Structure 1
Amino acid sequence: MSDGPVLAKISNSLENLRRSERKVADVVLADPHAVVRMTLAELAEAVGVSQPTIVRFANAIGCDGFHDFRIALAQSVALGIPATQSVIEARDDTATTVSKIFDFSITSLDHVRRHLDLAALEAAAEALAAADRIVFIGLGASGIVAMDAEQKFPLFGAACSAPIDTHQQFLAASVSTPSTVLVAISNTGRTVSILDTVRVARERGATVVGITGGPSPLAELSTVALVVESLDNTDVYTPTISRLAQLVVIDALATMVLLRRGEPALSDIRTMKTRLSQMRSGLHHEMILDPNRRGRS
């Protein structure tokens, strides 16, 4: 069958299914975890249709028979139910609410992964690896992502900043150079102050990596555009998956840059993490107070 979770395909195909096939779809979407354990005969009995109808349903959604459908369903269940089945309702209890939020987040992140332009990701990593200075900018939820990215400066191997004030962002862009990389994060890609800052950075010769949710002015202005296509919608209960997706993309970029820096950088990171662990446990403090402890430990 073609790529993509089968549960999402079923949800998107409901209007095109025959009435008997729609009955099968309703049962599958209502409890996919139970259906994945059913035999052909058991599912036919549960739905109240014939076994050939089940096979026709499987073919209608792009599977090669019932066996292929059940394998695809198991894979889809592992990824989480589709966003259309994860809508939170006011009457949902705690277990249902938590399950839907996790399912929605997992499914959405998988959607981002499957639609991410790896060539653009590679180009962004190359630019960041060559930078002398990196500036992350964003507002709102994207601003939180920018501040998180700043904390990863040891991985990037360059001076990093994440100004949160729009004036500070503009000033940082105004003093950028051709060795600066400005990472602009905006899900809409239409925030006026972000676009103004990007234009100034480009005028100064900086490389701009734009992280945005789709085709947008930010994508057009960027040297490298990373489209992070999430499943955000306007449902009041829906988690802000764009923020989670942006965080994962930043993690991927930081790791890719670190790998390009080679073994000396990896060794430095290992040493840093060891010392951080010692500091958290209090061992580092004890060594400062009693230098001879190092030889005894």
Structure 2
Amino acid sequence: MENYATIMAINNAYPDLFEQERKVAEYILKNPEAVTNMSVTELAEKSNVSDATIIRFSKKVGFKGFYHFKISLAKDIIDPETKISTHIDVENIKASIDNIFSYKIEEIKKTADVIDTTSVKNCIDLIVNCDSLYFFAAGNSNPVAVYAAYQFSQAGIKTVVNITPEMQINAAFSMGENDVAFGISNSGSTRMMLDVFEITQKRKIKSICITSYAKSPLAQLSDCTLHTVMTEKIFFEAFSSSRMMPMVVIDALLLLLSKNKTIDAYKHNSNCEQYLAKYKY
């Protein structure tokens, strides 16, 4: 499919598509740019079809799956006059750094546009009033959970973080009624994360999640959802790091939290820094 335009592939395959698959094709042809940032579930909902239909459609038009279809579609629709280059070359470090940073800046701008301010306020209220803040994550998101736990603890919030599935499941069952679960998952569909949040929901524990897919299963299980925008998976096929945007959102929450009069985040952080100064050289 490398030399075959995605839109042309859809048009060529259209006569052989079933009725449900044609619904998908028609939606994509009308909203190609929006589709590049959708999950399988989101596109299925917009097209009024099942998730399985999206997968079948992607294969029928010549791709291994929906992920590969999105990569090709994204490359097709970007305006060549305004697009940011995806080229990375160790022989041209300056241009490569410019390209990478340009994408990061674009992600931050898009996240700022889509993040819901009411959800942010609700998240801050939950955090300020909780007994303990439990962080949950899996795979590549685990370092973000550890980072978040450390940062919030510096602001005077009691935090708990575990990185193994066994300890996270145990933590979900041991949380108190005034604790808050904070999940971090780019896809919002990681099985372990869904298990944890199903437990907290059944136990009526309040929860927050950061995810790139606002209508993901994890978002449906959460009381507050903070939506981030990710483009790396589409534009950088060889390597994808999904950690930066959740960390930016966490930093934003911390800065807003520092202005909350209920807690004295600055004083707590200053006390910690003064005590730890003797370990720094």
Distance in 2, Cα, partners of 1:245 & 1:157: 23
Larger Cα Rg: Structure 1 or Structure 2?
1
Give, as a single letter, the amino acid of the residue that structure 2 aligns with 1:279: Y
Q: Distance in 1 between matches of 2:146 and 2:261?
A: 23
Cα distance in 2 for partners of 1:86, 1:236 equals 13
- Structure 1 residue runs without a partner (length 5+): 1-10, 15-24, 30-83, 282-297
Q: Distance in 2 between matches of 1:279 and 1:272?
A: 12
Cα gap change, 1:87 to 1:256, in 2 (>3 Å): same
Residue by residue over 1:158-214, the C-alpha shift from the partner in whole angstroms, topping out at 9 and shown as x without a partner, is: 321111111111110011122110001111000111101101011222111011101
In the TM superposition, what are the counterparts of 1:172-187 in structure 2 within 5 Å?
172-187=171-186
Q: 1:217 to 1:156 in 2, by over 3 A?
A: farther
8 Å CA contact 2:156, 2:268 repeated in 1: no
Match of 2:84 in 1: 85
After superposition, the C-alpha distances for 1:95-127 in whole angstroms (9 at most, x for unaligned) are: 111111111111211111121111101101110
For 2:141 and 2:248, locate their aligned partners in 1 and report how far apart those are by CA, in whole Å. Answer: 13
Q: Partner of 1:121 in structure 2?
A: 120
Contact 1:134/1:160, CA 8 A, preserved across alignment: yes
Does the CA-based 8 Å contact 1:125-1:253 persist in structure 2? yes
Q: CA deviation at 1:147?
A: 0.7
Aligned to 2:158: 159
1:103-142 correspondence to structure 2 within 5 Å:
103-142=102-141
Match in the other structure for 2:204: 205
Distance (whole Å) between structure 1 residues aligned to residue 277 and residue 152 of structure 2: 18
Further displaced range: 88-97 or 172-181: 88-97
In the alignment, the residues of structure 1 paired with residue 229 and residue 174 of structure 2 have an alpha-carbon distance, to the nearest angstrom, of: 31
Whole-Å separation in 2 of the counterparts to 1:155 and 1:109: 24
Q: What SS does the aligned partner of 1:135 have?
A: strand
In structure 2, the CA distance between the partners of 1:13 and 1:94, relative to structure 1 (3 Å rule), is closer
| Structure 1 residues 13 and 143: CA distance shift in structure 2, 3 A | closer
**1:87 aligned partner, one-letter code:** T
SS of the equivalent of 2:195 reads: helix
Q: Which moved more, 1:227-236 or 1:104-113?
A: 227-236
- Residues 264 and 245 (structure 1 numbering): CA distance in 2 closer, same or farther, change over 3 Å? closer
How far the C-alpha of 1:130 sits from its partner, in A, is 0.6
Alignment check: 8 A CA contact 1:176 1:205 kept? no
Bigger relative CO (Cα 8 Å, ≥ 6 apart):
2
The match for 2:93 is 94
> Residue by residue, what CA displacement relative to the aligned partner does 1:220-256 show, whole Å, maximum 9, x if unpaired?
110111111222324235652x311100111122232
Figure out how many residues of one structure are paired with residues of the other and give that number.
Answer: 204
1:142 and 1:243 in contact (8 A); partners too: yes
Residue pair 1:213, 1:228 contacting (<8 A) in 2 also: yes
Q: Percent identity over the alignment?
A: 23
Contact 1:123 1:224 in 2 (8 A): yes
**Maintained 8 Å contact 2:86/2:99:** yes
Q: Structure 2 CA distance, aligned partners of 1:265 and 1:245?
A: 23
- Matched ranges for 1:19-58 at <5 A: 26=81, 29=82
- Give the alignment's TM-score, normalised by structure 1: 0.62
